[in-house]
Chains A and B, each alone.
Chain A
Amino acid sequence: MTLLTLRKLHKWVALVVGIQLFMWTLSGLMFALLKHEAVSGEHLTAKPQVPNLAAEAALMDPTAWIETDSGRIVHEVMLRPLDGGWVYHLVRDNGIELRDAFDGAPVVIDSARVRRFAVDHYRGSGRLVGIQFLAEPTLETRQAGATWRATFDDPAETSLYFSADGGALVATRTDAWRVFDFFWMLHTMDYAGRDDFNNPLVILVTSASLWVALTGVLLLFRVFRWTKVPPREAGVDAEVT
């Protein structure tokens, strides 16, 4: 392959994918720069203390509810702490059901309860400034389904998301995460959902950029002459800028 052809091939494809190559290296740089701890917000939350089960009153027997609801299959019954007490968390075919472990009353995740969840989980320096119900998942919750959002006024603008059916903390989002996620979108080229990096656009542009990198590395062998080149050939190369 002549230097001219190689240079042309590298150049034309580079023009098409150059912008995206810039986006990839820039977003890659951002991933290296943004501290993992700030992005994950892992130090902003902690699991609330587990109340001592041994000291509590007698537990109800949840198997009765399974039998009476025989039409709806139960896969799992979890006794777990929630909101300072204990609940039975029933995983059914059609969703989750929460019941108080001592009196069997249905447990509803409402704004008052989410307010307590938020305060019990949060370890940052801000104050709770807002509680909001989100019926549909957002970019900040991805596949989490319906959630409650608790917003804090700390410098990271932290939001904690609790699942609307089970009350579990499903996401911690900070400004560092939001910046990271924006560049993640540029990196994966999935401008809608951000997480699908098997999309046709990114496959196409990656193929092209692989071509650019490959012809580029081949060019390196040609433009750096480690052996003596006859002056005539050097002159020809200078012509084809």
Chain B
Amino acid sequence: MIAVRLSRLSHKWLALAIGVQLLLWSVSGFYMVVVDLDFIHGDPLVHNLKPALDVSQQLVSFDSLRQSRSGISAINLRALPDDGTAVYEIVTATGRELVDAQTGDRMSPLPEGRVIELARAYYAGNGNFKQVTLIENVADKPTELQGQALPLWRVDFDDWLESSLYVQPDTGRLVTRRHRFWRWFDFLWSLHIMDYRERSDVNNWLLLVASVVGVTTVMTGLWLTIFSFDFFRRGRRKRASQ
């Protein structure tokens, strides 16, 4: 019976130490498995826009762009999704530049009005445009932007999901989207991996210690479970005869 008492004692005291975290792991894990991940990623919130490139008009050539700039690492020719304007996105060591492919005029950084139009084109929800904010400083960067590079425009919509689309001013691209359920997921994720600030570092000491205690608690629990079932009747009979 020493083993039974030991298994119960160890499980009890270990559980006292880690119980709340085990509950938090279960609650956050439950949310993650029951809410569809594509929905969390905001896939239904935006159109998968791939406008066709219209080259019937005379375009500025790749070669002339090459000659007027140095340190190019890529040039992309594509169409903006709001009105189909053909644009060149020129990538250099210092950043990205957007050029109107017909006139050769520089378009970046895109003005607020154009960013709103682009966000409206990307947005597939049923809300209306609410507000737009330019985020330039790291100090103003919301945690939900994680490692994304600044500057970015945040375009909010007034739907019940509290959707925000983030548009890059130098490319017009939609870099990410956030909504109520993503934000909950992210909060619960921070509880799950026990990284409460960056919410991304799984190699932290707190998680390591908690999972060692957690795995031990579960092991003693399993040990206890074996006794609870195998020796349940026998143990009781023994005690009754004592």
Bitwise interface map of A from 12 to 35 toward B, beta carbon under 8 Å scored 1, else 0: 001100110110111011011111
User: Closest residue to B76 on the A side, CB-wise?
Assistant: A78
Q: When A18-B221, A25-B215, A216-B19 are in contact, do A67 and B55 touch as well, CB less than 8 Å?
A: yes
> Once the chains bind, are B218 and A21 in contact (CB under 8 Å)?
yes
A195 to chain B, nearest CB (A): 9
Q: Which of B23, B32, B35, B211 has the most CB of A within 10 A?
A: B211
Q: How many residues of B contact A (CB 8 A)?
A: 63
| B127 in the interface (beta carbon within 8 A) | no
| A133 in the interface (beta carbon within 8 A) | no
> Once the chains bind, are B63 and A59 in contact (CB under 8 Å)?
yes
| A220 in the interface (beta carbon within 8 A) | yes
By a CB distance below 8 angstroms, the chain A residues around B76 are 76-79
| B29 in the interface (beta carbon within 8 A) | yes
> Once the chains bind, are B19 and A220 in contact (CB under 8 Å)?
yes
Bitwise interface map of B from 215 to 226 toward A, beta carbon under 8 Å scored 1, else 0: 101110110010
By a CB distance below 8 angstroms, the chain A residues around B33 are 197-198, 202-203, 206
Q: How many residues of A contact B (CB 8 A)?
A: 58
Q: When A31-B202, A239-B239 are in contact, do A197 and B32 touch as well, CB less than 8 Å?
A: yes
Query: Which A residues are closer than 8 A to B by beta carbons?
Result: 11, 14-15, 18-19, 21-22, 24-26, 28-29, 31-36, 50, 53-54, 56, 58-59, 61-63, 66-67, 73-81, 101, 196-198, 202-203, 206-207, 209-210, 212-214, 216-217, 220, 223-224, 239, 241
Query: Which B residues are closer than 8 A to A by beta carbons?
Result: 4, 12, 15-16, 19-20, 22-23, 25-27, 29-30, 32-37, 50-53, 55-56, 59, 61-63, 66-67, 69-70, 72-79, 201-204, 207-208, 211-212, 214-215, 217-219, 221-222, 225, 228-229, 232, 235-236, 239
Chain A to chain B contacts (Cβ below 8 Å), 27 pairs: A18-B222, A21-B218, A22-B218, A25-B214, A29-B211, A36-B203, A53-B72, A67-B56, A74-B52, A77-B78, A78-B74, A101-B62, A197-B32, A197-B37, A198-B36, A202-B33, A206-B29, A207-B30, A210-B29, A213-B22, A213-B23, A213-B26, A213-B27, A216-B19, A224-B16, A241-B235, A241-B239
